[in-house]
Amino acid sequence: MGDFFYGEQANIFSFYRFPKALFTSRRFEDVSVEAKVLYGFLLDRMGLSAKNGWKDEEGRVYIIFTVESIMEHLKCSNKKAVGLLRELEEKAGLIERRRQGQGRPSLIYVKNFIEAPEERFKR
């Protein structure tokens, strides 16, 4: 049979999904590919958090994805992981972090990457 996929074999793997807009929209053209990949990981984790009922008092779903987890997933240094989080939060506006206090991981709110229609016309 060789190295090819046949029939339903292609469905045996799980995949990360990355919004095309991250790679096609001018809004994200200055965001690094690594930060976009991290955003895809965070989006993936959102499904699990929603399923587990991880919501704040306003009903917003949050995730916990530690710097150590980012380092493990992306095979990168602590400095790089922290920089990618900062890039997603400050440069791209794709996440918001809420600190929980000493020794506890921050809550991460993954923001919607699609602009509201009224915001497009304000420019």
Domain boundaries, the chain: 15-120
Predicted TM-score (pTM) of this structure: 0.82
**For position 122, what pLDDT does the model report?**
45
**For position 115, what pLDDT does the model report?**
63
Q: What is the mean pLDDT of each run of 10 residues along the chain (123 residues)?
A: 71 81 92 96 92 93 96 97 97 94 92 64 44
CA distance 66 to 110: 14
CA distances from 62 to 25, 34, 46, 89, 123 (A): 25, 21, 7, 14, 30
CA distance 70 to 1: 37
In this structure, which topology does domain 15-120 adopt according to CATH? Arc Repressor Mutant, subunit A (1.10.10)
